[in-house]
């Protein structure tokens, strides 16, 4: 208990170079997956560069949105932070301590503090386990209850917190709707009282009306339990609603980081501008008059990314220098970072 208290006190005093209280700092993260060929796939022929030299921080108590096209490396980034994938290179600081490359055994005590909400509520729950057992499994793994009665009371309390009836504990996943299943997944994630949760597109498989309910639930839980979220999504409207700051990714690289209001009102990277122009506006008059940025071509393969800026093959304002120079992520305004040689103030 003394050691745990000391660790907690140390975490409260973790400050990065930007002066903020950070729970997560990602520095030059690379996540490559080898491509093998030949008999029994014994010969390496290349790498899939899912995440390539990514750096950002997550402040304690905030929600950091992570957006981009499918396959850009969003989920891989989240899984690397949780050490579900061992990073190829880089540092991942959790409460000031570099956990990159830690073994499963060494990571086990940290699993209580770092949790994951999965994208698909239909495949992320074990169909052979009832709702109570799914939520209660982490309690058993980490030894958080001392008796059978305490175990059942804790499960009932968690079900109430996420808006489900405690009597549902004996039901199996197939007896629940998609929204209810995701609430079970959320209950499982908060069962061990974590401080940081990676939300991997938690509402993308749900109806729009249910999405709003789940998002509101997550915001209430964040306030109630002082949680920090990395919210991964491709729906920019949802990200704008729940996030404090937003990171935009493309082909394993970060294009822009900014406060949500600043990003939507003043996007500086051409890729961010194209993403935001694709958001439909409910007013048909405004929608008909506005100009949309349509990107040409396809997203390049992460196994063979373009030289220089990875976005230059589709960028409407690219110049020759973009083909040779890898743009550095720079702070062009207070707390507004852009990786583009033509961005304002670069």
DSSP codes of every residue in 105-161: HHHGGGGGTEEEE-S-TTTSS-TTS-HHHHHHHHHHHTT--SSHHHHHHHHHHHHHH
Q: In a 3-state reduction of DSSP, which class is residue 282?
A: coil
pLDDT at 336 > cutoff 80: yes
pLDDT tens string 214-241: 999 999 999 999 999 999 998 888 898 8
Dihedral class, residue 275 (left if φ above 0, else alpha if ψ from -120 to 50, else beta): alpha
Which pLDDT does position 40 carry in this prediction?
A: 64
Q: What is the pLDDT of residue 289?
A: 65
Question: In the numeric block, which tokens belong to residue 243?
Answer: 């996030």
Contacts from 153-161 at CB under 8 Å and sequence distance 24+? 154/191, 158/187, 158/190, 158/191, 159/131, 159/135, 159/187, 161/187, 161/190, 161/221, 161/224
Over residues 92-149, the pLDDT tens digits come to: 999 999 999 899 889 988 999 999 999 888 899 999 999 999 999 999 999 999 999 9
Pick the closest to residue 61 from 217, 226, 194, 197 (CA basis).
Answer: 226
Residue 283's pLDDT is what? 64
pLDDT in tens, 300-333: 999 999 999 999 999 988 899 999 989 999 999 9
Strand order in the sheet with 22-37: 43-59, 22-37, 89-94, 97-98
pLDDT at 342: 84
User: CA dist 140 to 112, 135, 146, 171, Å?
Assistant: 12, 10, 9, 19
Q: Where are the domains of the chain?
A: 1-39+52-113+196-208+228-243, 123-193, 266-346
The sign of the CA dihedral 58, 62, 68, 72 is positive
The CA distance from 263 to 240, in Å, is 9
CB atoms closer than 10 angstroms to residue 130: 16
Domain covering 1-39+52-113+196-208+228-243 in this structure, CATH number: 3.40.50.300
Average pLDDT of every residue of the chain:
88
């Amino acid at each position: 208990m003394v050691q745990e208290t000391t660790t907690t006190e140390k975490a409260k005093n973790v400050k990065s170079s930007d002066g903020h209280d950070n729970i997560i700092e990602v520095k030059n993260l690379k996540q490559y997956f080898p491509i093998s060929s030949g008999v029994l796939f014994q010969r390496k022929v290349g790498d899939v560069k899912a995440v390539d030299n990514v750096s950002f921080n997550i402040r304690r108590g905030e929600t950091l949105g992570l957006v981009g096209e499918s396959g850009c490396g969003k989920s891989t980034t989240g899984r690397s932070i949780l050490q579900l994938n061992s990073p190829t290179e880089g540092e991942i600081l959790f409460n000031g301590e570099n956990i990159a490359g830690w073994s499963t055994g060494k990571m086990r005590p940290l699993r209580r503090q770092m949790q994951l909400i999965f994208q698909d509520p239909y495949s992320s729950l074990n169909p052979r386990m009832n709702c109570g057992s799914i939520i209660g499994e982490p309690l058993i793994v980490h030894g958080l209850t001392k008796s059978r009665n305490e175990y059942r009371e804790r499960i009932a309390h968690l079900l109430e917190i996420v808006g489900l009836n405690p009597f549902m504990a004996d039901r199996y996943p197939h007896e629940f709707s998609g929204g209810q299943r995701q609430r079970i997944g959320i209950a499982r994630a908060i069962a061990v009282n974590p401080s940081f949760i990676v939300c991997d597109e938690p509402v993308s498989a749900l109806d729009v009306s249910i999405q709003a309910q789940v998002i509101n639930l997550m915001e209430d839980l964040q306030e109630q339990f002082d949680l920090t979220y990395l919210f991964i999504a491709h729906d920019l409207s949802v990200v704008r609603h729940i996030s404090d700051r937003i990171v935009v990714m493309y082909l394993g690289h970060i294009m822009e980081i900014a406060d949500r209001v600043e990003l939507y009102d003043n996007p500086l990277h051409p890729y961010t501008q194209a993403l935001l122009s694709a958001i439909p506006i409910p007013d048909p008059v405004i929608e008909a008059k506005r100009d949309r940025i349509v990107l040409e071509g396809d997203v390049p393969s992460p196994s063979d990314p373009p030289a220089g800026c990875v976005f230059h093959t589709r960028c409407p304002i690219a110049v020759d220098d973009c083909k040779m120079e890898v743009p550095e992520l720079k702070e062009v305004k207070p707390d507004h970072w852009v990786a583009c040689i033509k961005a304002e103030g670069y």
